[in-house]
Amino acid sequence: IWKLIKLGTTVILTLGLIFSPWMQSQEEILQVVHRIFPVFRGLYQDKVANVWCAVNVAIKLREMFTIQELVRF
């Protein structure tokens, strides 16, 4: 149990040190959380990006269409 407590303390202190610049106010902390977990803006944009990456391997859409045409899709 001592190793678990030591590991947990190390992780918490490291995260605290890394995120300390953004821990000045509650608003800044919430902004970091919103950036890491983009649930509030909707996950649709993430799915579109994933589909683009998957399709682009086999079908080179940028060679078939102009940028303006791709934006309309």
Per-residue pLDDT reduced to its tens digit, 10-58: 999 999 999 888 888 889 888 888 877 766 666 666 666 777 777 876 6
pLDDT band at 62 (very low <50, low <70, confident <90, very high): confident
**Intra-chain end-to-end CA distance of the chain, in Å:** 55
Write down the pLDDT at residue 69.
Answer: 79
